[in-house]
Structures are given as structure tokens and as C-alpha cells.
Amino acid sequence: MKAQNYIRLEFPSQSSNESFARASAAAFAAQLDPTLEELGDIKTAVSEAVTNCTVHAYPDCLGKIGMKLRILEGGVLEIGVRDWGKGIEDVEKARQPLFTTGGEERSGMGFTIMESFMDSLRVRSKPGKGTVVTMTRRIRGKSALR
């Protein structure tokens, strides 16, 4: 699909940048006139993806996170979140609810949450090279409520 608009961001994997990523995604999506529920879903999915990078990709150091947002034909928002960290040994296993490599304080629900708030979720990863999470969501917007 051809992009009608896009942005690219890059930021350090500091936990304080998670809120920046959420706000940036919401601001970009605003041009599609989403409902508050749609905005909340987008922000939650982005938060999970960025937090995964911070906690799992770079557990012992700072790295970089890239985020690309595109508006595709038909009001589809595509969000890509990328890291160049540890990578995931077994993506299928990592996508299972309650699986985590982040210790007792992590719920292991990140991918499940992303999947539940977005229309599609694709995860590509190579150990030692990093991970790319791509999510899409068709924005029905406020006009659909009228």
C-alpha cells in the first residue's frame, strides 16, 4: 500500500521516552480524526512496543529505538517500532501470553496487548540484530459515530 503521509523518529531506549513515543503516535494519528477510544488503543500498543525495546532489547545498556508511522489508503495507520538490540530467539514462544524474559515484575502480556488493540501485528527478529514490530489499525474515526 502506498503511504499518504509518514514520519520517522529515533530516540534512546530510556523509559522516559515511552511517553514521548505515545504522544507522538497520537499526534500523528490525529489527522485521521480518531475517536478517544482509538487514540487510547494506539497509545497503549505503542507503549507496549517501546517498553519491550527498553526492557528486553537493551536490558543492561541504552540503545536506540526507531519508530515509523504511516498513513495508508483507506484510513489505515501503520506503526513500526524497531530496535537493534538482543533480538528474540523464538518469536512464537515470545508471543504466547505470560511468557517473559524480563523477570518477575513483567507480566509477559506485551504482544497480547498489542494484538488486542490493533488490527494486525507482525514481529520479525534476529538474535543479536534486533526486532521490528509492525502494527496496523484502520481508523474509523469520529465520523463513523454520526
* Catalytic-residue membership of 48: yes
Report how far residue 61's alpha carbon sits from residue 55's, in angstroms, rounded to the nearest whole number. 10
The CA distance from 67 to 110, in Å, is 17
CA angle 107, 8, 142 (to 5 degrees): 75
DSSP 109-138: -HHHHHHHHSSEEEEEEETTTEEEEEEEEE
- Catalytically annotated residue among 17, 22, 38, 52: 52
Annotated catalytic residue 106: yes
To the query of whether residue 17 is one of the catalytic residues in this protein, the response is no
- DSSP H or E run through 70: strand 64-72
Q: What gap in Å lies between CA 15 and CA 142, rounded to an integer? A: 32
- Of these residues, 38, 48, 78, 115, which one is catalytic? 48
Tell me the catalytic residues.
48, 52, 106
